[in-house]
């Protein structure tokens, strides 16, 4: 017979082995080793065009890269006189310009201007049959210190052609806000493809509108303008504002502010009241135009805009807000637009003055 203590020992050992076996099973099922995280692209889950872009650049990108490179470099200098408020731009030289002529050379020259005053442009001399011209010319711009951060210097290198249109080789655009003008700057920059023709900044004007349907009174308050285009040789203007009422595409009524001398940021605060019956308010356009006064020659328009039911964008929103809030004056800033663009949008029929329609 087996002793009793031996049976107990065997039973305990069997229980321990069974417990260890159960623990191993639990560890294998519930505590599997986590795989390392790796960023992988599943090429089967994406389209063929996207897959191609992962391994090679688009043909258009390659063409743009080739187009951007190989136009050459331009060396220039900048010096700002804080007392005289003048920016002196030195066009030093160019190197490795793109050949534009059949003989493998170019006839380069440089045009320099500021986007804040595109009427004033300077040109260097033309250098014949060279890809590495030395210009060593300097030009001075009158730039008030307050306008420096908003100005951009543009230097465009052209290839001269006596019998055809001059081809642009490339350009350098330098925002003056990104430059430390406390010191004289001299540096090289790569030429890039020239930007499309930019729209000239004509300025902004702030005015309020108020309409009272019961009395038929339309009030236009011309408050102020800022950043107006320079019209005079001294870099300033003599601005004044005209307010026209257009009825059924014909000029109807006109009033104007006083002239503010030698400023690009005039303050007017002048109010005009027009009688416009409620039955005609939907057919009326209000034209706001800023002009430069000149004693000797004809006054020149700086920019225009119009409001009414035919307007768009901010002008239409301003007009709609006025009609939605009768008796309440609503002021807003607007950007001036080229006069010919506004005149074309208005499509005026004639300049005859119409009598006031009956109420």
Which of 190, 222, 257 corresponds to the end of one domain? Answer: 190
Q: What pLDDT shows up at residue 42?
A: 44
| DSSP at 41 | -
Closest CA to 158 of 101, 78, 75, 119: 101
> Are 237 and 153 in the same domain?
no
Q: What is the pTM of this model?
A: 0.50
Contact of 139 with 197, CB cutoff 8 Å: no
> Are 209 and 295 in the same domain?
yes
> Are 211 and 332 in the same domain?
yes
Q: What pLDDT shows up at residue 232?
A: 76
Query: Is 33 inside any structural domain?
Result: no
> Are 166 and 226 in the same domain?
no
Give the H/E segment covering residue 65: helix 59-68
> Are 106 and 222 in the same domain?
no
Query: Is 219 inside any structural domain?
Result: yes
What SS3 class is residue 103? coil
Cα separation, 113 vs 92, in Å, equals 16
Range of the domain at 154: 70-190
Cα separation, 244 vs 259, in Å, equals 17
Tens digits of residue pLDDT in 219-270: 999 999 998 888 877 778 899 999 999 888 788 889 999 999 989 999 999 9
Instruction: Look at the chain and report how many structural domains it folds into.
Output: 2
| DSSP at 192 | B
Query: Is 209 inside any structural domain?
Result: yes
Residue 116's contacts (CB-CB under 8 Å, 6 or more residues apart) are 143, 147, 150, 151, 152, 201, 230
Q: What does the block give as tokens for 261?
A: 């001398």
Q: What pLDDT shows up at residue 200?
A: 66
> Are 165 and 256 in the same domain?
no
What SS3 class is residue 23? helix
> Are 125 and 163 in the same domain?
yes
Query: Is 15 inside any structural domain?
Result: no
Q: What pLDDT shows up at residue 30?
A: 64
Query: Is 170 inside any structural domain?
Result: yes
Q: What pLDDT shows up at residue 204?
A: 92
Q: What pLDDT shows up at residue 354?
A: 45
> Are 76 and 136 in the same domain?
yes
Q: What pLDDT shows up at residue 199?
A: 59
> Are 208 and 186 in the same domain?
no
Tens digits of residue pLDDT in 60-91: 444 444 455 578 999 999 999 999 989 999 99
For Cα atoms 166, 170, 173, give the angle at the middle one, nearest 5 degrees. Answer: 125
Query: Is 155 inside any structural domain?
Result: yes
Q: What does the block give as tokens for 292?
A: 């430069």
What SS3 class is residue 198? coil
Query: Is 98 inside any structural domain?
Result: yes
Contact of 141 with 86, CB cutoff 8 Å: yes
Which of 166, 190, 214 corresponds to the end of one domain? Answer: 190
Closest CA to 189 of 288, 74, 81: 74
104: alpha, beta or left? (left if phi > 0; alpha if psi -120 to 50): left
Per-residue tens of pLDDT for the chain, all 359 residues: 667 777 788 788 888 888 887 887 777 766 555 555 444 444 444 444 444 444 444 544 444 444 555 789 999 999 999 999 899 999 999 999 999 888 889 999 999 998 877 768 899 999 999 999 999 999 999 888 888 888 889 999 999 887 777 889 999 999 998 888 889 999 999 999 887 655 567 889 999 999 999 999 999 999 999 988 888 777 788 999 999 998 887 888 899 999 999 899 999 999 999 999 998 998 899 999 999 998 878 888 999 999 998 888 888 889 999 999 988 999 999 989 888 888 888 886 544 444 445 54
Which of 162, 190, 218 corresponds to the end of one domain? Answer: 190
Cα separation, 193 vs 242, in Å, equals 41
> Are 184 and 289 in the same domain?
no
Query: Is 313 inside any structural domain?
Result: yes
> Are 220 and 335 in the same domain?
yes
> Are 98 and 222 in the same domain?
no
CATH of the domain at 114: 2.60.40.150
């Amino acid at each position: 017979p087996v002793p009793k203590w031996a049976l107990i020992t065997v039973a305990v050992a069997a229980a321990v082995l069974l417990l260890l076996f159960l623990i191993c099973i639990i560890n294998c099922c519930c505590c599997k080793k986590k795989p390392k995280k790796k960023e992988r692209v599943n090429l089967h889950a994406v389209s063929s065009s996207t897959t191609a872009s992962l391994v090679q650049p688009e043909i258009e990108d390659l063409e743009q890269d080739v187009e951007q490179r190989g136009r050459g470099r331009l060396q220039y200098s900048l010096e700002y006189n804080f007392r005289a408020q003048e920016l002196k731009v030195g066009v030093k030289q160019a190197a490795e310009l793109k050949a534009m002529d059949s003989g493998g050379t170019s006839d380069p020259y440089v045009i320099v201007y500021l986007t804040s005053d595109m009427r004033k442009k300077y040109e260097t001399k033309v250098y014949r049959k060279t890809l590495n011209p030395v210009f060593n010319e300097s030009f001075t711009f009158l730039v008030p210190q307050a306008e420096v951060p908003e100005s951009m210097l543009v230097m465009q290198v052209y290839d001269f052609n006596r019998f055809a249109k001059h081809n642009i080789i490339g350009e350098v655009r330098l925002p003056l806000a990104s430059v430390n003008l406390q010191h004289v700057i001299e540096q090289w920059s790569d030429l890039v493809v020239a930007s499309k023709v930019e729209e000239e900044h004509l300025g902004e004007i702030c005015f309020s509108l108020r309409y009272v349907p019961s009395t038929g009174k339309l009030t236009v308050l011309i408050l102020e303008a800022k950043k107006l285009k320079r019209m005079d040789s001294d870099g300033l203007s003599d601005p004044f504002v005209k307010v026209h009422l257009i009825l059924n595409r014909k000029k109807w009524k006109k009033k104007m502010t006083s002239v503010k001398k030698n400023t690009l940021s005039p303050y007017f605060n002048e109010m005009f009241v027009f009688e416009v019956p409620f039955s005609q308010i939907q057919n009326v356009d209000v034209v706001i135009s800023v002009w430069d006064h000149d004693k000797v020659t004809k006054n020149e328009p700086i920019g225009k805009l119009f409001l009414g039911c035919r307007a768009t964008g901010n002008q239409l929103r301003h007009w709609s807000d006025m009609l939605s809030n009768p008796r309440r004056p609503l002021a807003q800033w607007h950007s001036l637009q080229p006069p010919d663009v506004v005149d074309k949008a208005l499509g005026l029929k004639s300049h005859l003055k119409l009598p006031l329609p009956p109420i």
